[in-house]
Amino acid sequence: MNILADELNSVLAGTIAGRLLSRLGRRIYFPKGIIAQSGEAKTKAYTANATIGMAYDQGKPLMMSAIADNLPHLSAAESVAYAPTAGVETVRHAWKEQLLQKNPSIKEEHLSLPIVVPGITAGISYTADLFLDEGQHIITSNPCWDNYSLIFHERRDGIMTEVPFFSSGPGLDMEGISAALRNAAKTGTVRIILNFPNNPSGYSPTKAEENALVALIKEIACGGADVLVICDDAYFGLFYEDDIIQESIFGRLVNLHERVLAIKLDGPTKEDYAWGFRMAFVTLGSKGIEQEHCDALIKKYMGIIRSSVSCANTPAQYLMLKTLEDPRTAGEKERYFNLLQGRYRAVKKFIAAHPKHPVLTPLPFNSGYFMSFRCEDVEAETIRRELLTRCGIGAIALGKKYLRVTFAAIAEEQIPEIYETIYRTASELQKMDEVEGRR
């Protein structure tokens, strides 16, 4: 059991609440991860807050004009009425149309209508409820989003097999990923979650790497194993390099093999700069299922939704529909993309000019909101706290080894100074440790 859960259980020991806790109630805890560290940075990061996954400009979150204009003018039906359990029908069809436009490789005949859920986090959690039992394994990247542990391990009591997706090379460690999938295939079932662009590394596969991943999954399915691929596409579309395929890998998996079930989780949270909407979509596809099977799966998800939140946010769904229909949206999204790509390039430029830092080694990154450093000799949490307390810079420590920086939240002109401070601080901490060691 996690030490944080043990601490909470100790506080509750001897109380009526402590005696009544379920097994999940005893396992659950609030991690000292991204959310907790972001909360600390809100009050102390006076120089730059590069913690939470949001994009800012001039101190304010980016926002689409269609949302700003329509927010005060929603009708009663669009604002306070219950939405259907699986979501507003017109919204679901509009999102599916967009999905097919963005991913032209998808063949629609084996694709479900998207289901509306209250955020991608909820979609992942509901998917785990349906497809992960206690003691069953699911493969994740290492490093990965810290919420995966709460969802898969603590809530579902599953076993996370964390596979280092990056070694010392410029991209994915395909040898390590292949070994993990082939080993899992020996049990007859493979479950894996692919998060591209990846949080926290900010990496998406190149065209060659995606081809290799698809070929590997097909090989395993052809070998007789059932393969569940959960595609966490929270940051879909933010691809900054030409060698990245501009589609989700989900499109390649939908019609790959009868033994492959692909589940796509996406939504306006990052794609349309609407973080607080708390709405997302779950779309299922497989060569092995027909529309009647899709309908049955949708009803399964509806049962999970009904028994938890009842339905997703109504005004968010209608605002999203208005955003999709607004002629200004495409131009604004292009402008925001260029803004974030400029920040990405500024980080790339700084790192290229400062190779072989003694403490910080950047993981490969080419997309999304973030980039991360692998930390040697000095723990990531030590660097994070020093940056926050002495320099007013908020960053995220993920375990002992990884420090995540949200460049999407830093103005392009600030990036050289911020990264110079990060590099200098890590070097100074290493030298202090060396002095202490000699003593």
* 304 Cβ contact partners less than 8 Å away, ≥ 6 residues apart: 126, 129, 130
Distance CA 359, CA 427 (A): 7
Neighbour order of strands in the sheet with 402-406: 360-362, 370-375, 402-406, 396-398
Tallying the residues shown for the chain, one arrives at 439
Contact 257, 110 (CB under 8 A): no
pLDDT digits (tens, 9 = 90+) for 373-415: 999 999 999 999 999 999 999 999 998 999 999 999 999 999 9
Specify whether the CB–CB gap between 209 and 176 falls below 8 A. Answer: no
Q: Is residue 77 within a helix (H) or strand (E), and if so which, with residue range? A: helix 76-79
CA nearest neighbour of 315 among 5, 158, 80 = 80
The predicted pLDDT at position 42 comes to 85
Pair 11, 142: CB distance under 8 Å: no
User: What pLDDT score was predicted for residue 362?
Assistant: 97
437: confidence class by pLDDT, cuts 50, 70, 90? low
Residue 420: pLDDT band (50, 70, 90) is: very high
The position carrying tokens 């989700």 is 248
> Angle, to 10 degrees, between the axis of helix 291-306 and the axis of helix 120-131?
110
In terms of Cα–Cα distance, which of 347, 362, 429, 366 is closest to 402? Answer: 362
Q: Read off the pLDDT of residues 82-125 as tens digits, 9 standing for 90 and up.
A: 999 999 999 999 999 999 999 998 988 889 999 999 999 999 99
What number is the average pLDDT over the span 316-322? 95
> Confidence class of residue 435 from pLDDT cuts 50, 70 and 90?
low
Residue 149 has pLDDT above 70, yes or no: yes
Sequence-ordered alpha helix ranges (H) in 207-290: 207-222, 250-253, 268-271
Mean of pLDDT values over 279-290: 94
Q: How far apart are CA 164 and CA 371, in angstroms?
A: 16
- Percentage above 90 pLDDT, the chain: 82
Is 90 exceeded by the pLDDT of residue 18? no
Q: What is the mean pLDDT of residues 197-221?
A: 97
